[in-house]
Amino acid sequence: MTKDPVYNTYDNSDNGFSNFVLAVTRPNTKNEISDFFSCIVWKEKAVYTSKYIHKGDLVGITGVLQTRSYEDKKTLEKRVMTEIYVEQIELLSKSNGGNSNYQKPNKDQNDKNSTFGFEEPEYTPNW
């Protein structure tokens, strides 16, 4: 996690989202090379992410790559952005600079596939 997630809402309901960037170091390279991925997480997972996950934490995610385009308001150029729409996120370890009072939420022991009790989002590919 390159910096703390930013929680936003786009209306007055519980429909919030968090944005964050993950740095992933490429394995087996002479020089340490990292790639940076923009991620977005929705609703309850966004609240969890902004509350418990911070800069420097190691997280595991699964999700879907989404590419979108937009027009830059300053230059009026068309831009293309690829993001990971996060379906599951799990805190793997806290950074050394993390909150010392942190306690990892308990996973449901009966459901090894659950991620801190959040349901899987319904996803239907457009193919």
Alpha helix ranges (H) inside the chain:
43-52
HEC profile for the chain? CCCCCEEEECCCCCCEEEEEEEEEECCCCCCCCEEEEEEEEEHHHHHHHHHHCCCCCEEEEEEEEEEEEEECCCCCCEEEEEEEEEEEEEEEECCCCCCCCCCCCCCCCCCCCCECCECCCCCCCCC
Candidate ranges 65-69, 101-105, 111-115, 116-120; pick with highest mean pLDDT: 65-69
Tell me, what's the pLDDT at 32? 84
Q: Is the confidence at residue 116, as pLDDT, over 60?
A: no
Mean pLDDT to the nearest integer, 74-83:
93
- Structure confidence by residue, pLDDT tens digits, 15-63: 789 999 999 988 877 888 889 999 999 988 998 899 889 999 999 999 9
Mean pLDDT to the nearest integer, 95-112:
48
Closest by alpha carbon to 100, among 44, 46, 48, 54? 54
**Where do the domains of the chain lie, and which CATH numbers do they carry?**
6-93 (2.40.50.140)
**Consecutive H or E run containing 116:** none
